[in-house]
Amino acid sequence: MIWSDQTHGYTATDCPDLGRPCPAAERMITRLAAALTQARPLTQEDFEITGNTVLDGCPKSCPAQFAASHDRIRIYCGVEAQTPRAGLDRFADAMFGAGDSGFAATAATARPCALIEAIPTPARAQAATQVPLG
């Protein structure tokens, strides 16, 4: 599924248990996007928040990892806290078409059951970095 709001464009894969994107992951990513938009004037470009959670409202209470920066926000559903993020990022890059290198899914040691990503819209990202004078 693909959608957008005033600040971000979102892409989500379907949860295999629900047959549609996870509503709990959707709520979480929109809140992370709002928080990063508010934090942008007070943080540096390399600011990042990462962590682990149990998706509140997920029918299976899936564990998830998240990584949120001013460039991109991702939630990896169904993965444990100790799962290395580098492999998750490569898998998500292949799914979302980011980057320029291929990736064999069979090479992934752990695969999320679902993914969701938010990318700032270009116009909004530029406006957020401009500080009004006077």
Structure letter (DSSP) for residue 106? G
- Looking at the chain, the whole-number percentage of residues with pLDDT higher than 70 is 82
Q: Which of 17, 35, 19, 37 is nearest to 27 (CA)?
A: 35
Least confident interval from 37-41, 58-62, 72-76: 58-62
Q: How far apart are CA 91 and CA 25, in angstroms?
A: 18
pTM above 0.95, yes or no: no
Mean pLDDT of the chain: 86
Q: How far apart are CA 87 and CA 110, in angstroms?
A: 7
Neighbours of 23 (CB within 10 A): 14
